[in-house]
């Protein structure tokens, strides 16, 4: 079983729609969860972090966490063509060295 799983996509949504990206993780000790955006050939850029069950909103982005189901998601409202990128889910244990375990990423295409 992969430690962090994401659907590789591509996920195609029309401009202005809501994009929903999902991630599951296997390690129940995981405590911190992150969404990064990565444009082709560029480095990961932190979008959201979430540590507690429930929703966390920041502008057009909402992260959702359900630790019982070992599931974290990212919603992007009013999707723009500039949101087209690969979205990486990362988790860590919030202890020890705090290394990230990344998923393979979901490629999002927002169609104008």
Partner 1 sequence: EPEVTQTPSHQVTQMGQEVILRCVPISNHLYFYWYRQILGQKVEFLVSFYNNEISEKSEIFDDQFSVERPDGSNFTLKIRSTKLEDSAMYFCASKLTVTSYEQYFGPGTRLTVT
Q: Is 54 in the site for partner 1 (CB under 8 A)?
A: no
Q: Is 97 in the site for partner 1 (CB under 8 A)?
A: yes
Q: In what order do the strands lie in the sheet with 61-66?
A: 4-5, 19-25, 71-76, 61-66, 54-58
d(CA 8, CA 108): 9
Q: How many residues bind partner 1 (CB under 8 A)?
A: 25
Q: Is 39 in the site for partner 1 (CB under 8 A)?
A: no
Interacting residue with partner 1 among 20, 22, 32, 70 (CB under 8 A): 32
Maximum Cα–Cα distance across the chain: 44
Interacting residue with partner 1 among 88, 106, 108, 110 (CB under 8 A): 88
């Amino acid at each position: 079983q992969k430690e962090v799983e994401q659907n590789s996509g591509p996920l195609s949504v029309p401009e202005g729609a809501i994009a929903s990206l999902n991630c599951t993780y296997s390690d129940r000790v995981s405590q911190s969860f992150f969404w990064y955006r990565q444009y082709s050939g560029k480095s990961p850029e932190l979008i959201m972090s979430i540590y507690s069950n429930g929703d966390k909103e920041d502008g057009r982005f909402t992260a959702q966490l359900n630790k019982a189901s070992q599931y974290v998601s990212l919603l992007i409202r009013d999707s723009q063509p500039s949101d087209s990128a690969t979205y990486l889910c990362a988790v860590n244990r919030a202890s020890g060295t705090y290394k990230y375990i990344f998923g393979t990423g979901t490629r999002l295409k927002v169609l104008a």
